[in-house]
Chain A
Amino acid sequence: MAYYRSTVLVSMDPVCIDKGALEIKQQLIKELALLNLSEEVQVLDSPRIGDPETDGPDILVYPEASHYIQLTTSTVGPIVMEHFVKGRELQQYKAQMRDVTDEELSEPKDKEIRIILENIGKIDPRNIEDYIAVDGYQALAKVLGEMSPEEVIQTILDSKLRGRGGAGFPTGLKWKFARQAPDTPRYMVCNADEGDPGAFMNRKVLEGDPHSVLEGMAIGAYAVGANQGYVYCRAEYPIAVSTLNIAIEQAREYGLLGKDILGSGFDFDIEVRMGAGAFVCGEETALMASIEGSRGEPRARPPFPASKGLWGKPTNINNVETYANVPKIIHRGLEWYTSMGSEKSKGTKTFALAGDVAHTGLIEIPFGMTLREIIYDIGGGIKDGKGFKAVQTGGPMGGCLPVSDLDLPVDYETLGAAGSIMGSGGMIVMDEGTCMVDIARFFMEFTQDESCGKCVPCRVGTRRLLEILEKICAGKGEEGDIEELQELSEQIKKNSLCGLGQGAPNPVVSTLNHFMDEYKAHIFEKRCPAKVCRALIKYEILDGPCTGCTVCARNCPVSAISGERKQTHIIDQDLCIKCGICYQSCKFDAIEVN
């Protein structure tokens, strides 16, 4: 094969052709020939490089990756002369580095390690060239060219990669089971139904680095022997869906998806399927039912999807983040990967830090970091100088951990033993102004609403739990309520069909374990210590500080505040809906919550 010192890619996007890309290419070949460079510089057609509307016609020169834009036949000559003869880039025709900074993702903090999030904000997710430039699809090429499916599975087993959707099942083992299933065809599914409130790590990956997920799926498909894949993405993420579709189309154009990938004889293609708003569809059997076009109701396992999944065929299902790990493991090697994390959980995990913490947002940490390090060193501690009360991990099926658990290392086993779960990566920090009974009630409202209704323990059990919690928050709690909550939780956990029901009591059980005093204060003293539960608090205007400025009265949405100008105002407790607007709007701290 001839050796070229440089390669010029000419964008052959229809818009670029319309703007004269063919003439540019002819001119380029002519200029190179004139300078006797035809043997040294190769000219190739390329799909879209930059944005054809603003940049076209444009060329990309490798190995420097210089992007020259808005070319005309008269600018080709100077570029050839400067770039290939003098070895200088001609700045006036070069594309300016486009700023793809990401407002949602701040600079990594000192203790973070970013693997999954590393490309986000740095590459253009809608341009496959950007991903390829950061070694994208090298792992797929390596796998298809040098490794057998068994070797790929063994590598993933050795990496100790575990499911990032929350359950932490070893990914390599899942692949092995699917590979061993005798039936065909086999399917590859990516669970992008990120429904846990407060968790948006997967959305960020899909919108910022979609090819890492597609590459991981293709590698997995080769390992298990699947030729068709589906990404099941929740409908609340329209931008993720459109980014994915663009990425899939570009990967097909480059021969990285579709028939005979990279000339290996291996076929694999991916389709995006959208949900229609049902939290339970994140459960794998419900997800498959939804892809098939039915109600997203879970079914009993076994049979597991690895033997009977989509349309009754062997199916491998992994989460977005799990797939995104795969190319990194293959490309950078086991030694690098297993150097991060704790004994049983290798690598990193992304979290969405939310709630009353100074710096909210996405973070990525190696397994084994303590909650304290996450909340204080990375999250900057509690907002407004308040005290820490609890951290809720694992989404609505997770638990609340108190201050005494702050030094626990974050990994699957430790969080499980402490009565919470790893979950997909939601982490909600709560300050001392949070009522834990209200939080338990709140989460139960969520699971009750999202219960699909198929099995009785979940459908009826969560409703009973919610009713008791509502009663307690309304100041009508009574002797025996706590015992009933405990008994019900036990039954629901034991008898529910899927993870939603089995995990539903976790917020109740963990708050009962760690914040029993608060439950007792509500039930026996009719008092909400955090001053949150509306039935147990009242807003009152203090005689001294009130200047009679009328701001509260004017802002009250139910006109419950009366009083003359410059006279102390009064809140009519019968009309008050306890919205707290008066409390927020008073400039003289004259309103008190009791």
Chain B
Amino acid sequence: MQSVTANEEGTTLGIREIVERIGATHADLIPVLRAITDKYGYISQPAMEELSGLMNLPTKEIHSVATFYRMLSTQPRGKHVVQFCESAPCHVVGGREVFAILKQALALEPGQTSPDNKWTLLTTSCLGVCDAGPVILIDTDMYGNVTPGQVKEILSRYE
């Protein structure tokens, strides 16, 4: 993830490249927004304005879609995104205790980013690995069968 602000020329080019690669019809909007989130960490206001011109869609439509889906973000995120699976199968096998410790260890509530921009804590919908619950996803690393006692150790692996 690069820390590029959207008003830089590079971002404009990057967004243009994404639209050229994926497509500029309305049906391409979600894949385009995902690609932008993956590349820049979030979809900034200038990025939406740029898209509006490229895809011939009103900014409000882009904003409305960008804020609807969980995997799209219009807010900057921390260096590491910690996602906790809050689904029932994880919940009944001790997820609640793990989540309490996780929130405490990060000193964050879901949706918040730490002041040093190191961590963003999110909850995720079921990742479909219910055999291994409770599950924590940090960036793209998945940790299964997590116990409350392991949380600190897992977090300490990230700089």
Q: A581 with B101: in contact, given A197-B87, A276-B72 (CB under 8 Å)?
A: yes
Residues of A within 8 A of B129 (CB): 200
- Decide: A577 and B104 in contact? CB cutoff 8 A: yes
Chain A residues, CB < 8 A from B101: 557, 579, 581
Q: Tell yes or no: A593 within 8 A of B by CB.
A: no
Question: What sequence of 0s and 1s flags, for each residue 29-61 of chain B, a beta carbon within 8 Å of any chain A beta carbon?
Answer: 111011000000000000000000000000001
Smallest CB gap from A296: residue in B: B68
Tell me the nearest residue of chain A to B67, going by C-beta: A295
Give chain B residues whose Cβ lies under 8 Å from the Cβ of A264: none
In the assembled complex, which residues on chain B have CB atoms less than 8 Å from the CB atom of A392? 88
Q: Is B158 an interface residue (CB 8 A)?
A: no
Q: Is A236's CB under 8 angstroms from B128's CB? A: yes
Interface flag for A14 (CB, 8 Å):
no
Identify which of B2-10, B13-21, B92-100, B112-120 touches chain A. B92-100
Which of A275, A294, A355, A361 touches B93 (beta carbons < 8 Å)? A355
CA gap between A443 and B86 in the complex, in Å: 10
Are B104 and A360 neighbours in the complex by a CB distance under 8 Å? no
- Residue from B64, B125, B129, B131 whose CB has the most chain A CB atoms within 10 Å: B125
Instruction: Give the shortest distance, in Å, between B120 (CB) and chain A (any CB).
Output: 15
B139 within 8 A of A: no
Looking at the assembled complex, report how far the CB atom of A240 sits from the nearest CB atom of chain B, in whole angstroms.
Answer: 9
By a CB distance below 8 angstroms, the chain A residues around B1 are none
Asked if B124 lies at the interface with its beta carbon under 8 angstroms from chain A, I say yes
Beta-carbon contact of A200 and B68 below 8 Å: no
Q: Is A294 within 8 A of B65, CB to CB?
A: yes
Contact A194 B30 (CB under 8 A): no
The answer on a CB contact under 8 Å between A292 and B71 is no
For A360, give the chain B residue with the smallest CB separation.
Answer: B131
- The yes or no answer to B91 lying at the interface (CB within 8 A) is yes
The answer to the question of B127 belonging to the interface, with a C-beta cut-off of 8 Å to chain A, is: yes
Count, A-B residue pairs, CB within 8 A: 136
B76: chain A residues at CB < 8 Å are: none
Chain A 354-366 interface 0/1 with B at a Cβ cutoff of 8 Å (1 = within): 1110001100000
Task: State whether A293 touches B28 (Cβ < 8 A).
Answer: yes
Chain B residues with Cβ under 8 A from A236's Cβ? 124-128
Report Cα–Cα, A291/B86, bound state, in Å: 26
Chain A residues, Cβ within 8 Å of B104: 557-558, 577, 579
Complex contacts, A277 vs chain B, CB 8 Å: 69-72, 124-125
**How far apart sit A356 and B129, CA to CA, in the bound complex (Å)?**
16
Choose from B28, B92, B148, B152 the contact partner of A428 (Cβ within 8 Å): B92
Query: Residue A196 contacts which of B33, B91, B97, B126 (CB distance < 8 angstroms)?
Result: B126
Partner of A354, one of B25, B26, B86, B89: B89
Set of chain A residues within 8 Å of B33, measured between Cβ atoms: 276
Interface magnitude class on chain B: 35 or more
Inter-chain CA distance A450–B69, complex, in Å, is 10
Q: Chain A residues near B28 (CB, 8 Å)?
A: 293
Number of chain A residues whose Cβ lies closer than 8 Å to a Cβ of chain B: 56
Contacts of A577 in B (CB 8 A): 100, 104
Q: Is the CB of A579 within 8 A of B26?
A: no
What's the Cα separation between A445 and B95 when bound, in Å?
A: 15
Contact in complex: B93, A276 (CB < 8 Å): no
User: In the complex, A220→B68 CA distance in Å?
Assistant: 32
Instruction: Indicate whether B130 reaches chain A with its CB closer than 8 angstroms.
Output: yes
Which residues of chain B are near A273, meaning CB under 8 Å? Answer: 27
Interchain CA distance A7-B86 in the complex, whole Å: 54
Residues of B contacting A443 with CB < 8 Å?
Answer: 88
- Asked if residues B71 and A235 are in contact (CB atoms below 8 Å), the reply is yes
CA distance in complex: A579, B26 (Å): 47
**Which of B26, B100, B127 meets A293, CB within 8 Å?**
B26
Inter-subunit contact B87/A446 (CB<8 Å): yes
The answer to whether B126 touches A555 (Cβ under 8 A) is no
The one of B30, B61, B86, B147 that contacts A274, using a Cβ cutoff of 8 Å: B30
Q: What residues of B have a CB within 8 angstroms of the CB of A237 in the complex?
A: 128
Least Cβ distance of A264 to chain B in Å? 29
A355 partner residues in chain B, CB cutoff 8 A: 88-89, 92-93
**A338 surroundings in chain B (CB, below 8 A):** none
Is A254 at the interface (CB under 8 A from chain B)? no
| B83–chain A nearest beta-carbon distance, Å | 10
Within 8 A of B (CB), among A544-590: 555, 557-558, 577-581, 584-585
Q: Does A68 contact B (CB under 8 A)?
A: no
Decide: B124 and A360 in contact? CB cutoff 8 A.
no
Q: Which residues on the A side are within 8 Å of B86 (C-beta)? A: 445-446
- For B65, the closest partner residue in chain A by CB is A295
B residues at A contact (CB < 8 Å):
25-31, 33-34, 61, 64-65, 68-72, 86-93, 97, 100-101, 104-105, 124-131, 133, 147-149, 152
Using A236-B124, A275-B30 as known contacts, list a sample of 17 further A-B pairs with CB atoms less than 8 Å apart, ordered by residue number in A.
A104-B131, A194-B128, A197-B130, A198-B87, A198-B89, A200-B129, A274-B34, A279-B125, A293-B27, A293-B30, A294-B26, A352-B130, A354-B131, A452-B68, A557-B104, A557-B105, A577-B104
User: Could you list 18 examples of A-B contacts with CB < 8 Å?
Assistant: A104-B131, A197-B126, A199-B126, A199-B128, A273-B27, A274-B31, A275-B69, A276-B34, A277-B124, A279-B125, A291-B27, A292-B27, A293-B25, A293-B28, A293-B65, A294-B26, A361-B131, A557-B148
